[in-house]
Chain A
Amino acid sequence: MSLAARVSPTPHQVIRAVQAAGQALHSEWTKFRTVPGPAWLLAGVVALTVAVGAAAASAARCSSATCGQDPAKVSLTGMYLSQAVVAVAGVLAIGDEYSTGMVKLSLTAVPRRLTWFFAKAAVLTAPVLVASALAVAGSGLAGWLILPGHGFTPAHGYASLTAGADLRAAVGTVLYLTLIALLSLGVATAVRDSAAAIGLVLGLLYLFPIAASLISDATIARHLQQIGPMPAGLDVQATIGVNSLPLTPWQGLGVVALWTAGALLLGASVLEFRDA
C-alpha cells in the first residue's frame, strides 16, 4: 500500500472501518444475548416497575380536587427501584469485562477502543429502551386501571391517561432509564470496578433528593433539585403543577443527558488513555 493511502482514507478504508464497527456491534450483541444476566436484569426492571407502580397506585387516595397527587408519578413510583436495576445492568455491561479479564481479549479483537466502547453502549441502549418501554407501559396500564377507582377522576381534575402530559411522562421515563444505563456504563468504564461503580452511581442518584429533603433553605434545595440527575429527571414525570417545578420537564431530562454525556466522555477518555 502506498504512503498516500495511509494519510487520507480511501473509500476502501472507510468501508473497512464501517465493517469493523458492524462487527464490533455484532460481537457485543452476541455477548449480551448469550449470557443470562442481562436478560434477567431487564426482566427485573419490568417486573419491579410494574409491581411497585401497581402497589403505589393501590395505596394512593385522592379525596378532593386539591389532593395534589400526581397520577403519573404515582404510577411510575417503581422507577425509584428499577433505576437501580438498570444501573446494575449498565455497570455489569463493562464491569464484567474487567472482573473476568475478558477486556484484554475484547480489546485484542477490536483494537479501536472507542469503536468497542460505543458498540457496547449501543448494544446496551436498545434492550434497555425496550425493557423500559414495557415497564412504563405496564405501570401506566396499572395506574389507568387502578387510579380512577381511588378518586383520580375527571371530577377531581384528572384527565384521561392519553393526555399530552401523561405521554410526556411515559416517554420521558423510558428515556430517563436508558440514560441512567448509559451513565452507569460510563462510570463503570472510568472506575473499572463493579462495586465501586454501582456505589457511585446510586450515590449520585439517591443522595441529591435526600440532601434536598433535609435542607430547609429553599434556594439551596431548589438548586440541588436542578442539578441532581434523579430529581431533575423526575421533573419529566410531572403532569400537574408543571409551572412550579425547579426545571421544565424536558430541561430536567436534559440535565440527566448532560450527566450521561459527561460520564460517557469520562469513561471513553479513561479507556482510550489508560492501559486496560
Chain B
Amino acid sequence: MTTETATPRLSPPTPERDSFWYLLRAEWTKFRTVRGWVIAVLITVAAITAFTFLGADVSGGCTQVGGSHAAACPAPPTGPGGEPVTDAFYFAHQPVTGNGTITVQVTSLTGRVVVPPAGSESDGPQTGPGLPPWSKAGIIIKENTSQGSVYAALMVTGTNGVRMQWDYVNDTPGLAGTVSASSPRWLRLVRDGGTVTGYDSADGTHWTLVGTAALPGLTSAVQAGFFAATPSDGNYTTATGVFRHIGLSWPATGWTGTSVGGVGLNNSAPFPGALRQSAGTITVTGSGDISPDTGDAMSLQRALTGTFFGLIPLLVVGAMFITAEYRRGLIRVSLTAAPRRGRLLAAKAVVIAAVGFVAGLVAAALALAVGTPVLHRAGILLWPVSVFTEARMVVGTAALLALAAVLALAIGAIVRRSAPAVAIVIVVFVVPYLLVTGPQQDNGSTGVEEWLLRITPAAALSVQQAIPQFHQVIAIYRVNAGYYPLAPWAGLAVECAWAAAALALALYLLRRRDA
C-alpha cells in the first residue's frame, strides 16, 4: 500500500521575513517590551553616574591613606603639561642667554643610605654608602630655579646608565653601565632655540646622540649647570656627583648653589645639598627628585567607580535575554520563526551589545561630566588627561559593557539556566578584581594575583586607566590606585576574546542540542 504525500505548499518566503534586519527588530522588540530589563539597564546607567561621588570621598586633597582627616597638604608644583611634579634637587647653576653648549666628564656618583642603627638609637639615624637605581647627577638646562619650570637634563643614574630626561615625563636611555673613575661618562647638552640635544661619550671624543628635547616656549635667558638628586623612600638620603673637564660655550660667571624647592618642607628635598669646588672639579650633593609626581595625583578613573555597580544589573539582563526564553519555552517559538539558529544568536548578541554600548556610553559620559567637577571640588588632584584619553575612557567603558553583556548572553545560551549563568558571569568580572585589591594583598603580595587582571574578562577595566605609569619612578603601582597590568586596548581585547570564545561555544551547542 502506498501513501501519497501531498507536496507541501509553501508560500514563497517574503524577502522581508528572510532578512537579518527583521530578526534584529524582533529581538529588539522582545528586549524593549520587558519592563524589568529596561529598568535594569536604566539602573546600570544611574549606578555608574551616581557612584561617581563614591570616588570623591577624599577630604582636604591629602591622599595619606590611613589618617582619615589629615591636614590639607599643599598642592605639589605642576609641570609644563599641567601634571603634578616632584621638582626638588640641588642645583649648581649660572645664567646663560641664548644658545649654548655645556660639556662635562662625570667620574663618580655615590650615595648615602640610612642603615638601621646597630645598637642604641640615641645617635640618630646612621648612614652608610648606598645608591638607589634612580639616583641621578648630571647637567641640566632649566628655565629658572622655580619648581615646575621647563628643563632638559642629561645624567648618570644609580643603575640605569646615562639618561636624558626633560619636562618631567620624558626619559630616553643613553650609555648603559655605572659610572666610576676608571669608566667615566662624558655628557653634553646643546641648546639651539627651543631644542635641547643631548650627547654622551665614554672617552670625550666619540659622541653619540642620546635624545632631542623640544621645549617650546623656553625663554632666552636660562640657568645651566650641575645637579644631584636621589628619590627618597625614607631610607635614601643624598647622592653626590663629581664633575671634571667642564666646558662652557659662554663666558663663565661663577657657580651659585641653590636647593630648588627648599629643604625639609612639603614638596621639597628632605636633606640639604652642597656645592664644593676645587681645582677644576665640582662636587654636587643633593636629595629629592625631578620627576612626575604620581604619588599625589589621582586617576580620573575614580569618576567611573560605579562601573562594577552598573555592571551587575546589565549582566543579569544579558543572561536573561536568552535564559528567559528557555524558562518560558519561548525559545521553541523563536527557533520556529528563525530556524537558522546562528542568526538568532547573532541577532540577540547584536541587540544586547548595542544596549550595553549605548548604556555604557551615556553612563560613562555622564559620570565624567559630573565626576570631574565633583572630584575637583573635593580637592582631589587629578592627573591631567587629554581629550583623547577621556574619549577612550568613555568609548572603552561602553565597549566593556557591550562585551560583558554579550559574554553574559553567551554563557546564558551555554548554561540555559538563569541563576548559574548570572553567577558565572558576575564571578568572572568581580572576583579577579576583588582578589587583586583584597585587603590581604596589602602585605607581601607576590604579584601572582596581577595575572588575574591579564587573563580574565576583568582585564578590560584597564581601558579606564587614566594615570600613566612611569618606569623612571619607582613606586607601587596598585590596581586600586588606577594602574592596570595591561595596556588599555589590550585589556579590552582580552575581554573581547572571552566574549568571542563563549559566543562560539554557545553557537556550537545551540546548533547541536535540542532546544
Contact = CB atoms under 8 A, between A and B. Distances in A.
Interface in B303-318: 305, 308-309, 312-313, 315-316
B444 A211 contact: no
A206 B446 contact: no
Contact of A85 (B57, B312, B423, B449): B423
Contacts of B419: 88, 91-92, 95, 194-195, 197-198
Contact of A68 (B55, B65, B433, B444): B444
B86 interface: no
A213 B68 contact: no
B33 interface: no
A219 interface: yes
B422 A215 contact: no
Interface stretch (B4-12, B243-251, B319-327): B319-327
A267 B55 CA distance: 34
Contacts of B54: 211, 214-215
Contacts of A220: 57
Given A195-B422, A199-B315, A217 B435 contact: no
Contacts of A61: 444, 446
B221 interface: no
A130 interface: no
A102 interface: no
Contact of B434 (A74, A80, A194): A80
Nearest to A98: B327
| Residue in B58, B65, B68 with the greatest tally of chain A CB atoms within 10 Å | B68
A209 interface: yes
**Chain A binding surface, main DSSP class:** helix
Interface residues of B, number: 49
B55 A214 contact: yes
A218 B65 CA distance: 7
Chain A interface residue count: which class? 35 or more
17 contacts: A67-B444, A74-B440, A81-B431, A84-B423, A194-B418, A195-B319, A195-B418, A198-B419, A199-B315, A210-B434, A214-B54, A214-B302, A215-B57, A217-B58, A217-B59, A218-B68, A219-B68
A203 interface: yes
Contact of A218 (B67, B309, B312, B320): B67
B67 A210 contact: no
Interface in A78-127: 80-81, 84-85, 87-88, 91-92, 95, 99
Contacts of A251: none
B36 A214 contact: no
